Structure 1
Amino acid sequence: MKITKDFYNQDYFEGKNKVAYDSYAKAGGLLITFANWTNELFKPESVLDVGCAYGFVVKRFQELGVPATGVEYSPYAVSRAVTQEIIEGDVRDLSRFKKNSFGLVMGTELLEHIPENDLIKAVKEMYRVSKRFVFLLICTAGSDHIESRDGKGDPSHITMKTRDWWESFFKRIKIKRDLEKENFANNHQQSKSMKWAGRFFVLSK
C-alpha cells in the first residue's frame, strides 16, 4: 500500500476514519506532559520534532524557553499548526538543515510510517541534523491496535517490526544508543499508562 500526503487529511487527524487519533485537541494535554519530561531528560539547547502533526510538542518546548521547530509531512496538519515554527517536509530529506543543527531531534510514532527500504535514509537524516540525541517512539509489532480506536490498527503503519528488530537495525547501521536515557523513558510513569513502555529508543553521538 502506497501512502501519499493526501492520506493524512482531516479524517486521519481528527478521528473520523477511526485510525490512530481521537482528536489532537484532546491529545494536547498528554503531549504537553510528554514534552515536559522529555525536556527534563535531555535538557536540549534546541529541538527539531519530525512528524510533529499540529505541533503541540514544539509549542510546549517554546513555552519552556527552548527554541523548537517542527517538520510535518501532511499539508493539512501544517495548516492547523499551533505555532508558526512548523514547516512541511519529509524525514527522508532534511537538507534544509545543516549537520548538528539541533541538540535534540525527535520522531514520535514516525518511523512505522516509512517504507522499510527508506528507513536508513530517514534515520541517518535525523542523526545528521542532531548534535547530540535522537529520541524515537516507535509503534512496534503487536502494539498497533493500542493506537487505534477500532482495534484494527493504522493502515499507514507500513513498517511494523519488533523491538529486537529495531535494536538490530540500529546496530547494523552503526548508530549508538544511550541505554540509560532509553531505560528512563521506557520506565516513566506516562510510558506505562500510555502503553509506550518498551517502544522508546535514544540514539546518541
Structure 2
Amino acid sequence: MPRQYVANGARAAMAILATLIASHALRYYGVLGHVWLGIDPKLRAVIEHAPVQALTHMLIAPIALLVGPFQFYPQLRARYPTLHRVAGRLYVAACLIAGVGALATAPYASGGPVAGFGFGLLAICWIATTCAAWRAAVRRDFARHRLLMRFSYAMTFAAATLRLQIPIGLALGASSYSAMSPWLAYTSWIPNVILVALYSTAEKRRRLAIAAE
C-alpha cells in the first residue's frame, strides 16, 4: 500500500510539473507575432536563424509533455482504453514531429557544438525509443511497450528537468540559459533515463521474487 501511495504521488507530481512547463512554453506562440517575452537573446538568435526547425520543436513538444503523464495511470488505461489509444497516437506524433525539429535545430544550439551534440543525441534517442514503443504496441507486446514508453517519456520530461536545473545554474554563477546549455544538454535527460532503468530493474526483480514465493 505505501508503495502505491508513492507511485501515485510521483505520477501526480509529474503531471503537475508537465502542465506547468507546457503552459510556460505557450510564450513561444508569441514569437509568431514577433513577441519575444522571456526568451534568452541567444535562443532568440537560434529561432531567427532556423525558425521552422526551432518552432516546430518548441510548439509541438509541449503537447507530448502534457499528454504523457496521464498515459501512466493504470486506472485511466483500464477505464478508457480508446482514449488511451488516441492519446497515445497523439503523443507519438508529437514526439516524432518535435524530435525531428529538435534534431534539425541542434546544430544551431545557443550553447555551441557541445550543447548541440547533447541535444542532437537526445533527439535521436527520443525518436528511436518512441518509434520502438509504438511498434511494440502494434505487435501487442504491451510489456515492452510500457517499458519503452517509460524511457520515451523520461526524455520528453527533459523539458521539465532542464527548467528545474536552470535556477541551480544561476545560483552557481551561470549568466544565462545559453551559458548553461552545454551541460544542460546532458543533465536534463540522462539522469531521467538512469532513474527509469533503475526503477524498471527493481520492479522486475520484485515481480520475480513474488512469483518465486
Q: Taking structure 2 as the reference length, what is the TM-score of the superposition?
A: 0.26
Structure with greater proportional helix content: 2
Structure with greater proportional strand content: 1
Larger Rg: 2
Q: Taking structure 1 as the reference length, what is the TM-score of the superposition?
A: 0.27
